[in-house]
Each structure stands twice: as C-alpha cells, then as structure tokens.
Structure 1
Amino acid sequence: MTRLIIDTDPGIDDTYALALACVSPDVDLVGVTTVFGNVGLANTTRNALRVLALCGREDVPVAAGADRPLVHPHGHRARQVHGEDGLSGMSDTLPRRTTGLAGTDAVSLMVRLLDESPEPVTIVAIGPLTNVALLLAAHPAVRSKIERLVIMGGGLDGGNVTAAAEFNIWSDPEAARRVLAEESVPTTLVTLDLTVRCAVDSTWLDRLAASGPLGDTLVKLSATYRSHYRLSLGYDGVVIHDAVAVAEAIRPGLLRTTGMPVEVDCGQGPARGMTIADRREHHTRDSPRRIDIALDANLDEVRAFLLSRLAG
C-alpha cells in the first residue's frame, strides 16, 4: 500500500491525478493540500474538495496552503487552458463535500500527517512548490518521514508557459530551487519532456467516458483543456501531466529515470523558471545533489495503466 499526500492546484490534469489516487486500491491517500497555480487558491481549494466528493472521498483531510509565491508576484494564471474556475467552467456542477477543510493550514496538516504515519509517506507535488519548500524549510525533522517527493514540473528541452520554463516551476522558481537543488529528500521529477509524449487521444478519452459516471465526468470537465490541446498537439487529445506523476508514485519504476543535478533559474530575464539539468558525464561541481528525472517510459503502458485505473 502506497501512502500519499498530494499537493495540488486543480486544474484539469490535477483532477485526473486526484481521481487516479482516489480510485486506486493500492493507495492510501492520507491528505490533500492546495496551492495557488492554475487558478487562485480559493478556486483550487474548492476544486479539490469537489473532486474528492465526486470520488466519494469524504474521509481525506484537505487544507489550503500558499496563495502566492515565496518572493515575487505570480505572473498569471492558466485560465485559458483550464477555464476561469480551473475546471472548464464546470466546478459548480460537481457535488459538494459535506466534510470541509481540516481547520489548519497545508504545511501544518502535512506535518501532522507525516508525524502520525507509522511508515514513510510519498508527497506528490503537482502544482507550484511553495508549500513543499515551506514544509522542508520550517520543519526539517519531517524529512525522515518522507519516502520520496514525486514532482510534476520542469522541462529540460523548453517550457510551456515561456520558451524556457514549465508552468509549475515558473510560478515559484525560488521555491522550486529550494526543493530541487538544495534539499536531501529523495526526489523524482516528472518533466514536460515525458508527459507530453504520454498524451492521450480521442479514442482513449472516449473509452474513459464510456466506462462510467466518473470517467464521463472527467472527460466533460476537460472541454476547455481539450480545445487548448487540440491546437497545441495538432490532433484531438490532451496531456494529463499530473496524472503521469501520480502513476509513478503509485507504481515506482513505471517511468524510467536518470539521476542528474538540477538548477533553477531565479533571475528576472527570459530564462526565469528554467530547469537546468547537468547532463555531462563528468560533473564539475563537488558532490552535487542529484535527483531522478523521468525522461522515458513505455508510453503505451503508461496510457493503459491510467485508463485501467480511471475506468475501474
């Protein structure tokens, strides 16, 4: 059984990721924390609660976290990709959860869940890394209770919000640098370089929609996202970035990784938020920290795993 905390900014692909964790019988989803990102914190928190209600998970504690980056203001949201509310304008069509917020902030909830867990927990961070950076900075003792961090973010060969930067890292580069370059917790980074290659097409979406109420709702929620990716990909399909990261957390080794040191550009120029991996065989720095970067996978296996879980 894999014990997970998911830190998220729902968002369409976050919704698929949350649903994947909720319906997987080999996952113990011990908590969900929210962060600003695709839309503002109030919307990401409402969306997380409603997606959990959709999945019948009244039991999972939810807490809201950072509503802005550590240092500089957030440039913009991703409403043109996810819709004004983060869910193609359909958040209010989802059921309301009778269980509200946990009554504490995201970092405090993560600390409590980690302290109370009888075994280490995997934290899956699929939004800006502000909450995770604050957790590790303010509560270093919890590192021993973290099995690993699985992070969706970055792009070694370019970005999606700028030519250089991926959205989650660009949203708070200072937090990302703290987590990716300075920490000692085992970390797997799932980048755009792989998630885009794992894109699913209309046949996959049709099969999911036909599988039952949950699958049908997920596909309907994807309307704005699907329109965006129809232009971006050049065919009718979507990239469910965050679900790929959760899949790796559930089934370690589903994605093939390479250990490399990583830096994050925190400057104010056009490379702000760029994820820079040192791919040289002989590294010039003394004993740099290396993280596992997911660069390859059996793409059909990943798509089949996602569909089999989400379709029940």
Structure 2
Amino acid sequence: MKQKIKLIGILLVFMVFAACKEEAKNVTVEVKQEAKTEADDKEKPNGIVNGVKQVWIDADLAVGKKNIGKPGYSDVDDGYAVLQLLQAKNVKINGLSTVFGNNSVENAFAIGNYISKEFAAQKIKVYKGAGTAINLDSVVTNDAVEAMAAALKKQPLTILAIGPATNVGLLLLKYPELQSQIVEVVLVAGRRTPLDYFKIGNKGVLAKDLNFDLDNTAFRILLENNVPLVFCPYEISSKVWIKQNDLEALKSTTPAMKWLATASQPWIEQWKNQGAEGFNPFDVLASHYIIAPEDIITEPLQARLEINLDDTVKENKNRVYKSYLLCTKEGGAAVTYCYDVVPNYHQKLMETFKK
C-alpha cells in the first residue's frame, strides 16, 4: 500500500513538473513573439521619434509677391501650411526646400529664409531647389535634392510637397534606393474626372491643377516608384474658406500670423473680385493632414495620368489638350485621396494658427 502511495506521489510530481515545463515553454514562445513584433515595428519606417513626426517641407512659397508675367498677386496658402507645421507640437521640420511654382524659386527661397529667421523657434535650414520642370534629357540635381537625400539617409521622413513635385521626382531619379525611407509624400493635386473643374469665385474663372500641370513628369515618377502618396485636391480645399474676419482674428495672435494675414489682404481681394467671399487655403489641407489626419476624411483610390481637353481654355474647339491627374477606383497606382473635412473643421483649423 505504501509503495502504491509513493508511486502515485511520484507520478503527481512528474505531472506537475511537465505542466510547469510546458507553461514555461509557452511563455518563452509568447515573449519571443512579442519581441519579434516589437522588432518588426521598429523596422517599419514610420518617421516618428518620441511621438513627434519627422517632416521635410518642399514648397513654392510666394507670400506677398506679385505675379510674374501677369497682373495680381501670388498664392499665400503655402505660407499658412508652413507656419501651421512650425507651430505644431507633434511635428519636427527637418528641412525646408523651395521650388518654382506660384512664383520664381528665387522668391520662394527668400521667403523661406525670412520665415526661418523671423518665426522659427529653432532655425530651419532652407535649400534652393528646381527652377524649372524635370527635363528627362538632362536630369540635374540641386541643393534641395542633395539635402533631402542626406536627411533621408539618416532617418525616414514624411515629405510635404506643396508645389510642383519636381524636387521629389529628381530625388527618386538620383537616389532610387531612398524610396523606402519615404514614409509618405503629401501633395496638393489631383481630381476624380476631367470635368471636376477648379472654380474660383462665381464669374466663370477655372483654375489649373497648377502643381501637377507645371511638372507632369515629376508626378509620373512618384506614381511609378510606388511611393506612398496622399493627395489633397481642390475637392477638399474648396470646402474650406479663409474670410476677412479670419484675417482680422489672426492679426491679433502671433507675429508670424500677423505678418501672413497682412500679406494675405491683396490675395483675398483678388478672390472677392471674382465673386468669392474669401479664399480656399489649398496647401493647409495637406499640412493639416500631417498634424491631425483624423480631421481629414480620406478614401483609397488609384491615380493615373490621362490626356483630355484643357478645361482652362475658353471655347476650346478640340484643339488644346492637357494631362490630368485622375484618381478613381481602378486603373492606377494606389493613393490616399482626401475629399472632405470633419464637422467644426474651421474652428479646429483656426486653433492651429493660434498656438
């Protein structure tokens, strides 16, 4: 009887030991799986360091400048985008490059340096980029491209490209190996169909998809290189307005916004002359997407280039054509398409300028 009890005791001890060993094995597997998951997360280039998004800005700054070759003043919305990111606590600007577009690259470079000197808490290095569209017969780099490449070699970055995508296109041609370091490129361009007109005011003026129209090749390069792209087109910016009372309110916030709101006066007057009550701050929708993507409503679409009649030519009798950047359900490269904003967006937007 004693031997039987002893045998049962030994069996029980063995079973407990086996169970503990199996549990320890399971725990080890779980720990390894968790460690692997953490390692995988670290390998993913999310461009976020200590909760701060690492960003490079490429812009055709034109605040306060008169148009070249035509009457009136150039766009001011790129200034709002840059200052919005400067004031965002969850964004670090790793560099600011300039490009031709709304005005000359020389003017853009001068404005970029002025913003950095006068309004940046920590001075941001500014680099001059392309002054013309990409010429595939003679691909030439520039200071902006080289600086962007150097920054990407150090860490993954989100690129805000709110002018022609020329500098980013040149970057991918010269340094294709850095494609994996680009978290995403956020751009202001695109539409769903060629009949989605960019209407300015109510007097029949149709605007170009300027950033795309000025350098189709650059956008083609981005699409063909499978870079993660976010498009903030006229469709979304047309739903957001900056009016005279907004400018007056901004003048009493920060020195930077006072400067920008004052420089915006000739611009808003041009829009009023076209029958509008204010202006659409196109580039701000792109910068706001970087700061708070939850405020921007998006959908996955596919983008492609397609030739159609030029919608900006009046009485176009089948003679003038242009390329369009179209975003639809199929037939192109995968992109994120921004098309609307959340309720009370205007209030959210104004608060970002007051910080």
Both proteins in one fold, TM over 0.5? yes
Shift of 1:146: 1.3
2:168 is equivalent to residue 132 of structure 1: yes
Question: For 1:274 and 1:165, how far apart are their aligned partners in 2?
Answer: 10
Question: For 1:296 and 1:145, how far apart are their aligned partners in 2?
Answer: 29
- Equivalent pairs counted in the alignment come to 270
Gaps spanning 5+ residues in structure 2: where? Answer: 1-51, 63-75, 137-141, 311-319
Question: For 1:304 and 1:165, how far apart are their aligned partners in 2?
Answer: 28
| Structure 1 counterpart SS, 2:97 | strand
2:92 is equivalent to residue 53 of structure 1: no
Question: For 1:238 and 1:171, how far apart are their aligned partners in 2?
Answer: 22
Cα contact 1:173–1:265 (8 A) shared by 2:
no
- 1:290 aligned residue: 334
Shift of 1:295: 0.8
2:303 is equivalent to residue 262 of structure 1: yes
User: Please, which of 63, 76, 81 is the counterpart of residue 17 of structure 1?
Assistant: 81
User: Please, which of 38, 55, 63 is the counterpart of residue 4 of structure 1?
Assistant: 55
User: Please, which of 211, 215, 218 is the counterpart of residue 175 of structure 1?
Assistant: 218
Question: Partner amino acid for 1:306?
Answer: L
Per-residue CA shift, 1:165-217, capped at 9, x if unaligned? 411111111212222x3121211100011112111222222221122322221
2:236 is equivalent to residue 194 of structure 1: yes
Q: Higher relative contact order at CA 8 Å, sep ≥6: structure 1 or structure 2?
A: 1
| Root-mean-square deviation (Å) | 2.3
TM-score (norm 1): 0.80
Gaps spanning 5+ residues in structure 1: where? Answer: 73-103
Structure label with greater radius of gyration: 2
Per-residue CA shift, 1:215-270, capped at 9, x if unaligned? 221110102211122234521x2221112211101222321111111122468964
Question: For 1:164 and 1:209, how far apart are their aligned partners in 2?
Answer: 29
User: Please, which of 281, 305, 323 is the counterpart of residue 240 of structure 1?
Assistant: 281
Report the CA distance shift for 1:50/1:133 in structure 2 as closer, same or farther (over 3 A): same
Shift of 1:70: 1.5
| Structure 2 counterpart SS, 1:253 | helix
The residue correspondences of 1:1-312 to structure 2 (distance < 5 A) are 1-11=52-62, 12-57=76-121, 59-71=123-135, 105-117=143-155, 120-156=156-192, 157-159=196-198, 163=206, 165-179=208-222, 181-232=223-274, 234-235=276-277, 237-265=278-306, 270-279=320-329, 283=330, 285=331, 288-298=332-342, 300-301=344-345, 303-312=346-355
Report the CA distance shift for 1:224/1:265 in structure 2 as closer, same or farther (over 3 A): farther
Question: Partner amino acid for 1:245?
Answer: A
Report the CA distance shift for 1:299/1:174 in structure 2 as closer, same or farther (over 3 A): farther
